[in-house]
A and B are shown apart, each in its own frame.
Chain A
Amino acid sequence: MRDEIHVETVSDPRLLGCIRSLVRAYAAGLGFAEERVRDIVLAVDEACANAIRHSYGGRNDGAVTIVLKSSEEWMELELTDAGAPAPPERIVRRELERPTPETARPGGLGVQLMYEVFDEVRFTPGAVRGNHVIMRLRRPERKDT
């Protein structure tokens, strides 16, 4: 892996806009189409929002580390926090159903959006504390012609 960027930040929702700008620029630089860039930004934002809301329960001073990496084939994003480990049922992939207005429920969507967008999502909640998630996406084929 090369072209790495490490960001040490805190679980403050006011910083999410800055993180989105960084991820947008990074993904665009790897040649992803505009619509894919938008999806990637959304999925990473969801991962950060989960750290804020769930790992740290809304606390705005928890440590969050974001690493952006790329290789010829992949873009990879790693997010680490030191908050409460996610319960297993929160981080499994579920089949998203089309609800009716009666059955629609707010919440629980962020993790599913991460799975929707990335090719691989691997959560590793800590035994006592902390969470680690790696999200990978295959880069677009380069057109050499």
Chain B
Amino acid sequence: MALELLSVEQDGQWVIRAKGEVDLYASPDLRAAILKAVSDPRGGVAVDLSQVEYMDSSGVATLVEGLKSAGQRKVSFSLLAPSQAVMKVLQLSRLDSVFDIRESL
């Protein structure tokens, strides 16, 4: 399944809803959506990963890049309800504790 992305403003911040698979082919789209939101962040940027069925290291690298970019701009950056597949790759990468992971906004 390809990746579907939807950016919405909710409760004063950007929420990027990702659905499908984030692999080498799809991660540039996620990267563009995240960097766009971070450059005009409102109250913060949250990436909803609850509907992501697969994520590889290019997806993880994209999230790290988003986190760093948000950090430089002093913008809050969080991951919303990551699916099991996302949590697993974050854990394997030892990056699960780097992110602000929330169950809901």
User: Which A residues contact B (CB, under 8 angstroms)?
Assistant: 13-14, 16-17, 20, 35, 38-39, 41-42, 45-46, 49, 52-53, 96-102, 104-107, 109-110, 112-113, 116-117
B94 in contact with A20 (CB, 8 Å)? no
B95 in contact with A46 (CB, 8 Å)? no
What is the chain B residue whose CB lies nearest that of A53?
B24
A104 in contact with B85 (CB, 8 Å)? no
CA distance A99 to B68 in the complex (A): 12
CA distance A93 to B10 in the complex (A): 42
- Confirm or deny: B48 has a beta carbon within 8 angstroms of a beta carbon on chain A: no
Q: What size tier do the contact residues of chain B reach?
A: 20 to 34
Among the listed A17, A52, A53, A98, which residue makes an inter-chain contact with B21, where contact means beta carbons less than 8 Å apart?
A17
User: Which B residues contact A (CB, under 8 angstroms)?
Assistant: 1-2, 21, 23-25, 54, 56-58, 60-62, 64-65, 67-68, 71, 85, 88-89, 92-95, 97-99
A98 in contact with B23 (CB, 8 Å)? no
CA distance A137 to B35 in the complex (A): 38
A99 in contact with B95 (CB, 8 Å)? yes
Q: A14 with B25: in contact, given A106-B61, A106-B62, A107-B61 (CB under 8 Å)?
A: yes
Task: Give the residues in chain A near B60, CB-CB below 8 Å.
Answer: 106, 109
A45 in contact with B97 (CB, 8 Å)? no
CA distance A39 to B88 in the complex (A): 8
19 CB contacts below 8 A, A to B, read A13-B24, A16-B25, A17-B2, A17-B21, A41-B54, A42-B88, A42-B89, A49-B23, A49-B56, A96-B93, A98-B94, A98-B95, A101-B98, A101-B99, A104-B64, A104-B67, A104-B95, A109-B57, A110-B58
